[in-house]
Amino acid sequence: MVISMKNVDRQIKDITITLPDGAQRTYPSGTSALDVATDISPGLAKVVIAAKIDGELSDLSLPIINDAALELVKKDADEALELIRHDCAHVMAQAVQKLFPGTQVTIGPNIDNGFFYDFARDEPFSSEDIEAIEKQMRTIIQRGDAFVREVWDRDKAIAYFKDKGEAYKAEIIEDLPEGEDIKVYRQGQGDDGWLDLCRGPHMPTTRHVGDGFKLLKVAGAYWRGDSNNAMLTRIYGTAWRDKKELKAYLHQLEEAEKRDHRKLGAEMDLFHFQPEAQGSVFWHPQGFTIYNQMEGYIRRRLNDAGYDEIKTPQLIDNKLWEKSGHWGKYRENMFVVPDEVPQGSDDGTHDGPILSDKAFEKLMALKPMNCPAHVQVFNQGIKSYRDLPIRLAEFGCCHRNEAHGALHGLMRLRQFTQDDAHIFCTEDQITDEAVGFCELLQNVYSDLGFDDVAVALSLRPETRVGDDALWDKAEEGLRKALVKTGLEFREDPGEGAFYGPKIDYQIRDAIGRTWQCGTLQLDFNLPERLDASYIGEDGNKHRPVMLHRAILGSLERFIGVMIENYSGKLPLWLTPTQVVVATITDKADAYATALQEKLVAAGVRADLDIRNEKINYKVREHSHAKVPYIYVVGAREAEEGTVAIRELGGKDQLVKNVDDAIAGLVDDAKAPF
């Protein structure tokens, strides 16, 4: 409705609505965002799908009681995808219960690029069922049923869902805090009506979901992620603003499947996984060559940037983890190892008389991160302000007790290695150290083929350690560093860690996916907890600022990203086998052997293939393994001192004399640093 100010009852409280451009309008209390949109323009009211009231996403129909800042959300806004996917999940659940009565609906959140819903059903869904569900969803969307928000009494809601046989929904409500409003959203009426427990918000009608959606797959999932609970059936879907966006995403999925590092890793004989070592990788010689090349490259970069490399223990007493704060906050993600200590030998760390064969038990833990151990290295000996900054780097092997269902090839492991480093510096050195790190990170990413980097500066959260003056200095230091390096960045208020602000870096790969890899985090907390200090110019003790930083993050994960980004065709310097010398006839065996030996002597990773197989078979096999170059030699090449070069993916072959072929490959195979 359009609010006519001449007809407003003056006994109703007036409220002031502030629009994004700063304009203010006065309306009666209880006016909705849709009312405001209609008052501004009837055309605007037709295209808005939700509102942000004082920054919080809300239904258009929700009454606004007090003065508020209002932003009207259209379908092209970032928030629109969240709403489309949320509403699409509700439509899917309605379709499932329409087609399969007796199926219980449990939970159905948004996820990256889509949504899922878990259902309690005796039989799994078939591919034919999925097609029928999609068809029913389109019927519901076409009807354009309104999403209507209702607030119910707690006991009424529990009784309603129990009466319907929805035990899971009743359990969710029973677990909610006493006094919390029970919100229900209804879509449609009568036989076509349906409702679900939901906090919202929603778009105005089901029609606003549109046709840019598709159901993708069915999987199993435990209720509330607990393997002791019932197994449910999960349906995954994706939803976008329109069919064009959907088509682009489905194409990306197809490309991602072709590039899957697990598939390519098997084809290229790089690594494998097996049940006896869940979440850990078995590197094969070819794959470990990639690993070593990557580690060696980063090590050279760190040495050049003034880092000192260290190595710290895998097993550390839980007392240190308690002191650092990780035991209380991260205990469930740590692998804990009991350690039996002979009675009378104190803590078991030195030789001494054993007074009894009885033992007491203490707890050790495999380190999930390296930072507390690095503080221990810093704490050895007295440090002066003249010693700072101190940059300690480690290729630290870490263990985290990830859930079995979360493990995913190289991308999510229980055992992994970080290119980890910690910088101990003064407050005045924060900006210079941040600048140095940003430049180092940019150079590394550029060398590895990633020039599209998104940067976020995460600022102080509501709950934090350290005074505001220190936070002001830290945030401004990071801000100045980003400006100085020319990196574009967004600021995320409230998203910093409790111990300090941070910069996060996301790289975009060849098919448009983003990967969170690099990070720079300021920490005021850990130096305090672990009593790190240096002697300042004034002769007194001071706390250093600790910068946690990583560029690749996990080496294993980054190698997985590289494999998928390059679809297995890695840069030549990283490729395990850079060239294969393959013979056409056994008359060229001696020539081929000598050529391969020359290549190896020149520093090229070269293999020899003198098997009694046809050359087309050899070329096909090595191309499948993503070998960049195949040097083909036969009787003519042996006689003329030449080689026929076949490049991976190329159709033609180039003939060169041996010396030129070797020199060219040596130049191309050099690491970027």
Residues catalogued as catalytic: 371, 400, 418, 420, 422, 502, 548
Residues 424, 342 contacting (CB under 8 angstroms): no
- The identity of residue 83, as a single letter, is L
Residues 159, 169 contacting (CB under 8 angstroms): no
In whole angstroms, give the CA distance from residue 74 to residue 49. Answer: 6
Residues 503, 482 contacting (CB under 8 angstroms): yes
Q: How far is CA 243 from CA 111, 213, 385, in A?
A: 19, 8, 61
Residues 220, 186, 188, CA angle at the centre, nearest 5°?
Answer: 105
Closest CA to 658 of 594, 611, 605: 594
Residue corresponding to tokens 């810093």: 378
Q: What SS3 class is residue 339?
A: strand
Residues 349, 351, 354, CA angle at the centre, nearest 5°?
Answer: 105
> In the chain, what is the greatest distance between 2 CA atoms, to the nearest angstrom?
105
Sequence-distant (6+) residues with CB within 8 A of 564 are: 256, 259, 260, 261, 264, 509
Residues 115, 239 contacting (CB under 8 angstroms): yes
In whole angstroms, give the CA distance from residue 299 to residue 499. Answer: 28
Facing residues of 394 across strands?
420
- The identity of residue 100, as a single letter, is F
Closest CA to 314 of 362, 273, 368, 261: 368
Residues 420, 394 contacting (CB under 8 angstroms): yes
Q: Phi first, then psi: what are they for 617, rounded to 5°?
A: -65, -45
Residues 180, 241 contacting (CB under 8 angstroms): no
The side-by-side arrangement of strands in the sheet containing 502-508 is: 308-309, 390-399, 415-425, 545-554, 514-523, 502-508, 453-458, 490-492
CB < 8 Å & 24+ apart, contacts of 520-523: 520/434, 520/437, 520/438, 520/478, 520/547, 520/548, 520/549, 521/497, 521/547, 521/548, 521/549, 522/430, 522/474, 522/477, 522/478, 522/546, 522/547, 523/371, 523/497, 523/499, 523/547, 523/548
DSSP structure string for 98-114: HHSTTPEE----EETTE
- From the number of C-beta atoms within 10 Å of its C-beta (0-12, 13-18, 19+), residue 132 rates as middle
